[in-house]
Structure 1
Amino acid sequence: MSLLMAPPLPLVFLLMIHVCVSGVSSADWDVKYRPSHICALKDSSVIMKCIYENPSKDKIKKVFWTKGPVKKGVDPPDLSEDPEYSQRLQYLGDKQQNCTIRLSHVTLKDSHMYYFRFTTGKDDGKWTGDPGVTLNVTDLQVESPERVTEGDSVRLTCKSSCTLTDRATFIWYRNSQPLTERRDRNNELLLQSVRREDAGRYSCAVHGHNHISPAVQLNVMYPPRNVSISIIQSGQIWSGDSVTLICSSDSNPPALNFSWFKENESSAVGSGQSFSALQSGRFYCQAHNQHGSQRSDAVTVTVHHGAGRNVIVIAASSGGLFFIIIIIIIIIFIIQRKMKSRRSAVHEYENDDPSAGTYTALELRSRSSDLYDTLTTIHPRPADHQSGSSEYENQSVSVRSSCLLNIINKEENVLTTSQ
């Protein structure tokens, strides 16, 4: 049975002769890539490891890399001659077995399938390692909720379009400043019990690479804090005046509702960010947003009552008193000069005629009449404003004029007695 199934001896002989004549066929040529899929970060350098086999030991004429798609019957282009790759592509292999290359500063446009190809001196000595190595280039994006409330737990993720081939250590940034305590192999950033200080622009990167993701704003919402009142008023507040109080707070979103209260009163006395107080008391405000509310400390408003304001007004309207005082000083100076002149005249008269009478020489009444007439013709300046102020000024001038006349009469009596 076994003899009948054995092939004829001439057929076995022919098969052995064929193998010896043809040697190793091109089907034994091979190219292997490790790994066959690469996910690389934008602007990084990529190494495509490659080995090939040439059992025929034919002399290798040319080795190069190309990118897909590869069409049958068409010689693919050499990337080292392509302007987009020539400055970034470096062949690290040889013409024996190693066909590794390095591609620097990869971009998103570099995402393709790449092939190694070699040729020999024979017409049929061309081989392309198909399938090639797939390169995916990715950038980084931060994924986070747009709005969170103070006290919540927040998870931010540094995402890429593919899983990075190399083991990556992620770095996190807030407002362009690195969060050094957040450096680990996990691409997530967990903020437990988030605070308002955690708000900001977050970005991520991979340690050892220059590429940083675009920043994403984390908005932390919180109720009003640090509510305070400012008083828009200077000086004392008199009855009939109003003092403006302004309520301010730190909140997100900004507080839009404000209520005003007077201490020891249960109901609100006003609303809005500003409030006009017309009476004395202690006032406080309360700020509200959708996340809560807070009240301020109370401030004291004191309104003065009485004639204090009227006194100030009268004093301001009596500016003419200054002019009157100046006139009085000038008159007193003139009187002193005239009295001195009279003493000099008396002295000269007594020296010339000792028997002459003193009263005849002085003639005080006739000599002082011009001064008396001058005083009586002085009138106070008409009032510019209120009739009450005018009466006040007229009375003041009359009193001063009377006092001045009394002084002159006393001076005349003294001179008369002494003589």
Structure 2
Amino acid sequence: MSFNTIYVMLMWVRMAPPLPLIFFLLMIHGVSSDDWSVSYSPSHICALKDSTVIMRCTYTYPTGHQIKEAFWTKNPEKGDEPPDLSKDPEYSQRLQYLGDKQQNCTVRLSHVTLKDSHMYYFRIITDKPDGTYTGDSGVTLTVTDLQVESPERVTEGDSVTLRCKSSCALTDRATFIWYRNSQPLTERRDRNNELLLQSVRREDSGRYSCAVDGHTHISPAVQLNVMYPPRSVSVFISPSGVIVEGDSVTLNCTSDSNPPAEISWIKGGTTVGSGRIYNISKISSDDSGEYKCKSINEHGEKYSDNVTLNIMYPPKNVSVLISGSGVIVEGDSVTLNCISDSNPPAEISWFKGGTFVGSGRIFSISKISSDDSGEYKCKSINKHGEKYSDAVTLNVMFHLGK
């Protein structure tokens, strides 16, 4: 710069209104504050946990300066020298500078965590005294995870919407993926963050989680509990084979319902017990009959089909009835009837004294004679035992004229 030029400038300054000294010096050195700049695009980033973030950046600096250092920093504190993140152990393996020492200052940060949510800045250090500059508008990085928002309980037939929520709107366009019990619902891929289940069924119960296509992060699973009335109600008998008097028998009522149903037991039309298990110890013939269980919860009730308990037992209550009444006279017809309670039905034998005289429930004597007088009894027998009746006496009267 020549002496004449400096003289003209001094004369102009003397004639012009007073200006700040710093501005005057900048004019002399040909430097403007606008020569320093850092531009971030975008300035706000919402990124998914464990994803990779690219913070795009361009910068300018005054001519005549040479870049000695160009690096990214975070949350600079007044009076402290901003740290170079590439030298920070928390970042050094994840941070990759993609820029240059001319105008590109883009950086890539991989495997971001929730702790990476900060304001990030680009900083330049040149070879001139006080030739440093920080782009103070910065990039705000918010790292979010995913959470499923779902009602805890729904009733079968309801329509339900599950939402995959993040703490901020993801910067990258997101396609959401849904999982039930860790299995992908491949038919449910959508660009919005909602999963609509129309007319839910019990099969829709399970643990739901969500993710963003192309990312490894999956939300924690949330249980969806579908309530429904009892169904598939049935009774199982143990033991399943022949039941003999004196055995122990268990009836088990199975029922599919949510919430679990209360169970009651009915024999005929009478309630005889409650609970999923109905136990009869030392069963008797009186316990024979039809049983069913009723399953009930707040959403409805259902009965099982009837099951029959057919108790096997040996003969009992064996007795003989004589048809007719009064005096038996020679020539009359007399019928003896053997009464017996048993299961299965018993075979009947007839004895006069100790002699076998016939079989079958009915023993008939036509034109009875005095020779038929005596004590009669019947024997009732089945595979489970036998029993004799008490003896009855036939006292046959004869005509005096004989």
Indicate whether 1:49 and 2:52 are aligned. Answer: no
Indicate whether 1:133 and 2:136 are aligned. Answer: no
CA positional deviation for 1:230? 0.9
User: Secondary structure of the equivalent of 2:290?
Assistant: strand
- For the 8 Å contact 2:253–2:263, the answer to whether it is kept is no
Which stretch has the larger CA shift, 44-53 or 239-248? 239-248
Give the number of equivalent residue pairs. 304
Task: State the match for 1:23 in structure 2.
Answer: 30
Report the Cα distance in structure 2 between the residues aligned to 1:234 and 1:259, rounded to whole angstroms: 19
Indicate whether 1:104 and 2:110 are aligned. Answer: yes
Given the alignment, which residue of 42, 62, 66 partners 2:69? 62
Q: Which amino acid aligns with 1:167?
A: R
CA positional deviation for 1:57? 4.5
Task: State the match for 1:412 in structure 2.
Answer: none
Given the alignment, which residue of 163, 169, 179 partners 1:173? 179
CA RMSD between the two structures: 3.1
Task: State the match for 1:300 in structure 2.
Answer: 308
Q: Which amino acid aligns with 1:192?
A: Q
CA positional deviation for 1:240? 6.9
CA positional deviation for 1:66? 0.7
Q: Residue by residue, what CA displacement relative to the aligned partner does 1:20-41 show, whole Å, maximum 9, x if unpaired?
A: 5231223431111111111111
Report the Cα distance in structure 2 between the residues aligned to 1:213 and 1:288, rounded to whole angstroms: 36
Report the Cα distance in structure 2 between the residues aligned to 1:177 and 1:152, rounded to whole angstroms: 23
Task: State the match for 2:257 in structure 1.
Answer: 251
Q: Which amino acid aligns with 2:150?
A: S
User: Secondary structure of the equivalent of 1:181?
Assistant: strand
Q: Which amino acid aligns with 1:268?
A: T
Q: Residue by residue, what CA displacement relative to the aligned partner does 1:261-281 show, whole Å, maximum 9, x if unpaired?
A: 42xx4x535444316483443
Q: Which amino acid aligns with 2:308?
A: T
**Which protein is richer in helix relative to its size?**
1
CA positional deviation for 1:222? 1.3
User: Secondary structure of the equivalent of 1:197?
Assistant: helix
Q: TM-score, structure 2 length as denominator? A: 0.68
Q: Residue by residue, what CA displacement relative to the aligned partner does 1:308-346 show, whole Å, maximum 9, x if unpaired?
A: 99999xxxxxxxxxxxxxxxxxxxxxxxxxxxxxxxxxx
Q: Which amino acid aligns with 1:77?
A: P
Report the Cα distance in structure 2 between the residues aligned to 1:235 and 1:122, rounded to whole angstroms: 102
Indicate whether 1:268 and 2:274 are aligned. Answer: no
Q: Which amino acid aligns with 1:148?
A: V
Indicate whether 1:11 and 2:15 are aligned. Answer: yes
Q: Which amino acid aligns with 1:212?
A: I
- For the 8 Å contact 1:60–1:121, the answer to whether it is kept is yes
- Which runs of 5 or more residues in structure 2 are unaligned? 1-10, 317-340, 345-385, 388-402
Q: Percent identity?
A: 66
Report the Cα distance in structure 2 between the residues aligned to 1:57 and 1:145, rounded to whole angstroms: 65
Q: Residue by residue, what CA displacement relative to the aligned partner does 1:60-105 show, whole Å, maximum 9, x if unpaired?
A: 2211111113324x32111111111111111111111111000011
Q: Which amino acid aligns with 1:52?
A: Y
- Which runs of 5 or more residues in structure 1 are unaligned? 1-6, 313-387, 390-419
Q: TM-score, structure 1 length as denominator? A: 0.66
Going from structure 1 to structure 2, the CA distance change for 1:18 and 1:227 (only over 3 Å counts) comes to: closer
- For the 8 Å contact 1:260–1:275, the answer to whether it is kept is no
Q: Which amino acid aligns with 2:102?
A: Q
Going from structure 1 to structure 2, the CA distance change for 1:95 and 1:236 (only over 3 Å counts) comes to: closer
CA positional deviation for 1:243? 4.4
Report the Cα distance in structure 2 between the residues aligned to 1:137 and 1:55, rounded to whole angstroms: 35
Task: State the match for 1:285 in structure 2.
Answer: 293
User: Secondary structure of the equivalent of 2:103?
Assistant: coil
Report the Cα distance in structure 2 between the residues aligned to 1:41 and 1:116, rounded to whole angstroms: 22
Q: Which amino acid aligns with 1:11?
A: M
Q: Which amino acid aligns with 1:120?
A: T
